[in-house]
Structure 1
């Protein structure tokens, strides 16, 4: 029997939002994996400077997320999305023209701010498109945009930079940004008019204006999971190089992406049907086990198993935690809640390598990954205390 219009998930606007996110994420991942190398080759940047050339994008995204959650509905969702995407295109075009490192950092910060606005606004718009009974499933499918980008972006940056030039890398990024902009133009985005009380308090800045207290407990769990993910993204390649297994890195990341893709095809539906605790604790344990296997792996097959476990865990837990947080809050707080979720993910990626990197000198890479596995397991306890013990007691209020 055909689904009713009220229960349809893959509507025209949902598909366009997916395309827009793929385009925006491809710009992020492609340039993230290339920028450190570009900074060294073009500006003779130090290791620290090269790293900041890449990570400054994430800093820009985090800063914009703090503001956009409060002011999204004052500015207008489609208006700010189109402005941010236009800025995204312009920044991609400017990279080949930059001749100073400081200007490169400015462009990275500005484009990162645009990305923070784009991802938060599209996610907020998508939540309005997803039937309430299929929220976790819908968020799981839309998060495949990031999975596809993680698979394609690094490959594009490596192949284009090695076989063509940096201009081709930036040209590819510009094309992806244009596709995202063109996808948004025909989208119908539901706007929400702020209440009079919200309008009266529009210039007041308090903690609750930047972060959603209902989302925050599960956002902390997302941050913990993101720390585990950051250990893989940041340190796996140098670890494998030190083990004379550099060729295994590409296989690992491919398997990780495929595992994320596979789990997101069914985990969201399982979450919606059987509740929060049916997916999240198991996904966190799977991610922790994957990190632990990395710590003891000594051949390619061990790393493949680790990629399957870690990819399934990370792929299952992130959209499910977002769905939990959205159900805990109210409709008028969705922009702030969404911003809080993505800010937690960004923070985990930024904080994790800095907080745990010292473990390499103390206990080597195996010690680093065992520590990361322990932190992710701690996330199970945090989740249980924060939400799991009274799961399903919160449901989003449609206002």
Structure 2
């Protein structure tokens, strides 16, 4: 007889994860607009609101995984979501660019710790004989936020004020805190907890994962221009309404394609999936740079969702296959370096766009993405066959 999956704790884990990612995606696509329109910041500097947030999450993530084991799940849940909730309320008082960057850094800390502890809790509360099913549903909470967040954020900024936007985010952050406090994790057996709050540096990163992680960082760098500035670009084109549906089309295509690409990954190997996905991502960016109508804008969103949305879980799976006995270190290594690519990219593409314009930026990015095919083959693709067994199936993220 199967153990129950949809327990109160599992539901609360999924809800907490959904609400924290919902706030993340709402603010990710609206903060550049806010600093440009309300704080009179140049477009070339607007990317700092994304970079600062991700920098905090990147710095705290390797430590937070250790602290979750050292201090326990419940204290870390409360600490993370309290920080996230308080920082969400501070947006009402952001009257300068510097103060906003401080708030973004603080919220990035809460986000980095919160998403780490949610992943650990999901693994704790899902029955051992239903891990794959349970973790799949847990990942769906993030995917749903990916659909709802950008749409809700851009709709609110288009129809209402930023004060309304911050109120909505504060409410969602409060719901994340409340649902997190209702999680009842299993009791940690004696001897499992780490005694020291300072982790062993040698165990934080996995060297075997670095090649695919660096490849993923360049993919993330290219994608950061979409995540951070597509709303600004669409407004410049007079396509604000279309921008609200851009990420909806993106996420719908991603969700529909994921089961098929996962099976093909297992059956035919990573090169057969990764290389076409890079090409589709490049084509989507080229269309985005040439968009003059809502249809072309949304078509670009679909191609980017199919390309980029396939690349991230595929590369994470490659990382896990490299060192299956150290899945935690592999995942931490991959996403830490991956987030560095997004954070650095959000800053650098803002400066480039200020010089050449967003249309040229996206069109030229398609060429940059094509070059990543060569980087992928050099660092990993040429070693694909015969190097290791596929012990892990395609993982959803």
TM-score (norm. length: structure 1) = 0.78
The counterpart of 2:54, out of the listed 52, 58, 63, is: 58
Match in the other structure for 1:286: 280
Determine if contact 2:55/2:108 at 8 Å carries over to the other structure: yes
How far apart, in 2, do the equivalents of 1:165 and 1:246 lie?
A: 15
CA distance in 1, matches of 2:74, 2:240: 44
Show CA shifts across 1:177-197 (max 9, x none).
12222333333445577769x
Q: Is the alpha carbon distance of 1:204 and 1:301 closer, same or farther for their aligned partners in structure 2, counting shifts above 3 Å?
A: closer
**Between Structure 1 and Structure 2, how many residues are aligned?**
387
How far apart in 1 are the matches of 2:47 and 2:362? 23
Matched ranges for 1:149-228 at <5 A: 149-189=145-185, 191=188, 199=195, 203=198, 206=201, 208-228=202-222
Say whether residues 1:77 and 2:70 are aligned partners.
no
Of 339, 348, 351 in structure 2, the residue corresponding to residue 346 of structure 1 is 339
The alignment partner of 1:390 has SS state of: coil
Match of 1:314 in 2: 308
Alignment partner of 1:392 is 2:389: yes
Distance 1:243 1:89 in 2: 35
> 2: CA distance between counterparts of 1:78 and 1:178?
17
Question: Mean Cα displacement is larger for which, 182-191 or 270-279?
Answer: 270-279
Q: What is the SS of the residue equivalent to 2:207?
A: coil
Shift of 1:90: 1.6
Deviations 1:315-372 (A, max 9, x none): 22323333443454466x5544333233233212122355566487499336523223
Q: Could you report, residue by residue, the CA deviation over 1:11-40 in whole angstroms, capped at 9, with x for unpaired residues?
A: 665443332221001111212233334345
Range that drifts further, 176-185 or 141-150:
141-150
1:36-55 mapped onto 2 (5 Å cutoff): 36-40=32-36, 43-47=39-43, 50-55=46-51
Q: Deviations over 1:278-304 (max 9, x none)?
A: 644443443234334445666654444
Q: Is the 8 A contact 1:276 1:391 kept in 2?
A: no
Query: Do the aligned residues in 1 keep the contact of 2:279 with 2:370 (CA within 8 Å)?
Result: no
Shift of 1:89: 1.2
Determine if the alignment matches structure 1 residue 88 to structure 2 residue 81: no
State the Cα deviation string for residues 85-139 of structure 1 (Å, max 9, x = none): 122112212322455543332221111111011112222333453869975x766
> What is the root-mean-square deviation in Å for CA atoms of aligned residues?
3.9
From 97, 113, 117, the counterpart of 1:117? 113
- In the alignment, does 2:95 pair up with 1:102? no
Alpha-carbon distance between aligned partners in 2 of 1:111 and 1:18, rounded to the nearest angstrom: 20
Could you report, residue by residue, the CA deviation over 1:143-183 in whole angstroms, capped at 9, with x for unpaired residues? 44343323322333334345443332122112211222233
Comparing 281-290 with 41-50, greater Cα deviation is found at 41-50
Q: CA separation in 2, counterparts of 1:99 and 1:370? A: 37
Gap runs ≥5 in structure 2: none
Q: 1:33 and 1:158 mapped to 2: Cα distance? A: 7
> In the alignment, is the contact (CA less than 8 A) between 2:12 and 2:179 conserved in 1?
yes
Counterpart for residue 361 of structure 2: 365
Deviation at 1:237, TM superposition (A): 4.9
The 3-state SS of whatever aligns with 1:228 is helix
Aligned residues of 1:134 and 1:269 also touching (Cα < 8 A): no
Return 171-180 or 311-320, whichever deviates more. Answer: 311-320
Distance 1:65 1:280, change over 3 A: same
Distance 1:283 1:182 in 2: 39
**Distance of 1:271 and 1:9 partners within structure 2:** 27
